[in-house]
Amino acid sequence: MHIVVFSGAGISAESGIRTFRDADGLWEGHRVEDVASPQAWLRNKNLVLDFYNQRRLNLLQSQPNAAHLALAELESEYQVSVITQNVDDLHERAGSTKVIHLHGELMYARSTGNPTFRQRLDNGLLHADMHCPEGFPLRPDIVWFGEAVPMMDTAISIATKADVFIITGTSLEVYPAAGLVNFTPHDCGIWLVDPNRHQELSKQGIRCIAKPAGIGIPEAIAEIKKRYSTGGRHS
Ligand code: APR
């Protein structure tokens, strides 16, 4: 059985990483377009670099929570693919081995001139004078608003092969990622774990668990194991 997990910022909330769409509409005090767009990079490189340096230092202080750990543990029994909108590495640090990052990876920089060059930022800091070996400046390895999502086709291909699809911690407001669920097979069991009111999903028969991921994910996993060990399908 192939379990596909589609995660967003909410799964890392209990690890101390803020979600994007908090009530004040600001992301760590910034409007998102001031720090997470190609225009922001052109306008004020140092603000963007400093913003992501802060995010990285925060991530280095954070630990995977019960939801990340429970999903990693699932690999001992099932084929599991994680598709995440998150740029943090908490799924990997929990032990998940197949993780697709749709929106890039915070702990990496990439070259602005050589699309194949990436560099891990072990101390969390990227400065304006850092370059790739060919001399191009480095930028955060983040897919900014308005940029293409190169891993989307891979993610769609994985979603089409899901027996179970678990959605957690995402407001499903940002496309194309939010449309991924529409590529799951018609008989795929779908679970949604999110403590807050949620945008209507077009797929029917979704099992909603209105709890934080740290509690809701282990609960969803228990339900999935029960349902599929008896050979039943989710309807
Ligand atoms: N457990 C599970 N879900 C939670 C928790 C929690 N403890 N706390 C909050 N949530 C839910 C919220 O109810 C909301 O539905 O997580 C969701 C967070 O939504 P967003 O902040 O919009 O995050 P996300 O959907 O990941 O954002 C998508 O937007 O800014 C961009 O590129 C960025 O990848 C990001 C994308």
User: Could you tell me the residue ranges of all domains in the chain?
Assistant: 1-16+64-103+149-235, 18-61+109-142
Q: What is the pLDDT of residues 53-66, one digit of tens each?
A: 999 999 999 999 99
Q: Is 21 near ligand 1, meaning CB less than 6 Å away?
A: yes
Bigger pLDDT: 123 or 230? 123
* Strand spans (E) along 70-210: 79-84, 99-101, 104-111, 118-120, 138-142, 164-168, 189-193, 207-209
Whether 96 and 86 have beta carbons less than 8 Å apart is answered as no
From the CB of 7, is ligand 1 less than 6 Å away? no
pLDDT over 70 (residue 199): no
pLDDT of residue 106: 98
Q: What is the pLDDT of residue 174?
A: 87
Atom of ligand 1 nearest to the CA of 170: 25
Q: What is the mean pLDDT of residues 98-113?
A: 98
Distance 173 CA to ligand 1 centre (A): 9
Ligand 1 within 6 A of CB of 168: yes
Give yes or no for residue 169 CB within 6 A of ligand 1: yes
How far, in Å, is the centroid of ligand 1 from the Cα of 138? 28
The answer to whether the beta carbons of residues 141 and 89 sit under 8 Å apart is no
Dihedral of alpha carbons 98, 103, 50, 23, sign: negative
What are phi and psi for residue 94, nearest 5 degrees?
Answer: -75, -20
Amino acid at 107: M
CATH classification of 18-61+109-142 is 3.20.20.370, yes or no?
no
CATH superfamily placement of domain 1-16+64-103+149-235: TPP-binding domain (3.40.50.1220)
Q: Which pLDDT does position 33 carry in this prediction?
A: 84
- pLDDT tens string 220-235: 999 999 999 865 554 4
Active site residues: 103
Q: pTM value?
A: 0.94
pLDDT at 235: 44
Assigned token pair, 214: 């740290």
pLDDT at 87: 97
Contact 170, 178 (CB under 8 A): yes
Sign of the alpha-carbon torsion through 71, 9, 189, 100? negative
194, 201, 211: residue to mutate for ligand 1 pocket, most atoms within 8 A of CB: 194
Q: Please work out whether the CB of residue 111 comes within 6 Å of at least one atom of ligand 1.
A: no
User: How much distance in Å is there from the Cα of 168 to the middle of ligand 1?
Assistant: 8
